[in-house]
Amino acid sequence: MTRSEVSRGAARASTERPPRVFNEDDWRAFLVAELGGEIAVRFGRARHKVVRVVSQSGRRTVHLNAVFAEAPDEVRDAVARWIRAGRRARAATRTLDAWIETRLQQLEVERPARVELTTRGATFDLAEIAAEVRAECFAGEFGEQRPWPRITWGRASSGQPRRSLRLGSFEATTRIVRIHPVLDQAAVPRYFVRYVMFHELLHAVLDEPPRASGRRVHHGPQFRRREREFADTERAFAWEREHINALIRSARTGQPLSIKPTSRRRSRPLATAAAWLQRTLFD
């Protein structure tokens, strides 16, 4: 082996060397150096909110999925910039989104998430509603290339301050649709649950792989067109606008949904209502 071949081999080994493992203490020291203040870091297994910051009494606790122990330098820097500036740090957000998307897909292959699926609730059966919506709106769109998602009621989390409420979600990496259990009440019209289910199944059909920027397309033109065409969309938006505060209150307190008499409000244009609902309630 020549000297040049040895040099090339050493260089290749260097570039292929895995990143140094960053444990919780390493992350804490890094973030304190970057951001200052009192910071704690906790690793967990969350696959939806993989980076979360909780501030209390001047102390910030950063919750990270444990895969961040393997994050390369540019991702660690992106985390610090995102904590400092949020979505305003656009380049950092793109870096994080792209790395998280790739790493979670790998994680799902390596260690599939164990999810207990519950479709039958006290009032509604999600499997029944999903099958109904599938037959009406998605005939032939699910198959080998696009598997039918797993569907379940999500977990309630009462007692937390809320200004908005995620009524449904679709996780692209696990292909799981979750519906918030606050909707499993007799006071919630079935057509509204049908709309939320349709919205998430539409994500399961139309969500595109990340662009070069690292961002997924969630509510593109085709998504909005098909949503407008769904029979329950307009009255679902109207009901949601009237009762969202009661839903948030019910989710926060765990008390049954209390609905006041309907007041007459000037209706918003459908496109405006759709954009508002998607921005505040859905992924």
Q: What is the mean pLDDT of each run of 10 residues along the chain (283 residues)?
A: 44 49 93 94 84 89 92 94 88 88 73 77 97 95 91 77 79 88 96 97 81 61 93 95 93 86 52 51 49
How many structural domains does the chain have? Answer: 2
Which pLDDT score is estimated for 164?
A: 72
Out of 86, 110, 134, a domain closes at 110
Q: Residue 184's Cα: distance from chain center in Å?
A: 21
Which pLDDT score is estimated for 6?
A: 40
Regarding whether 224 and 88 lie in a shared domain, the answer is: no
Which pLDDT score is estimated for 5?
A: 46
Task: Identify the DSSP state of 120.
Answer: B
Which pLDDT score is estimated for 50?
A: 86
Regarding whether 275 and 144 lie in a shared domain, the answer is: yes
Q: How do 51-56 and 59-65 pair as beta strands?
A: antiparallel
**49 within domain boundaries:** yes
Q: Which domain holds residue 68?
A: 16-110
Out of 110, 136, 154, a domain closes at 110
Which pLDDT score is estimated for 11?
A: 45
Which amino acid is it at 88? R
Regarding whether 131 and 80 lie in a shared domain, the answer is: no
**150 within domain boundaries:** yes
Regarding whether 104 and 135 lie in a shared domain, the answer is: no
**3 within domain boundaries:** no
Residue 29: φ, ψ to 5°? -60, -40
CA distance 281 to 12: 47
Residue with tokens 């961002």: 215
Is this model's pTM higher than 0.75 or not?
no
Instruction: Please report the beta strands in the chain, taking only residues with DSSP state E, as ranges in sequence order.
Output: 38-44, 51-56, 59-65, 150-153, 168-171, 176-179
**5 within domain boundaries:** no
Task: Identify the DSSP state of 114.
Answer: -
Cβ atoms 157, 130 nearer than 8 A: no
Query: At 68, is the secondary structure helix, strand, or coil?
Result: helix
Cβ atoms 36, 88 nearer than 8 A: no
Helix and strand tally (H, E) in the chain? 9, 6
Cβ atoms 182, 245 nearer than 8 A: no
Residues in the chain: 283
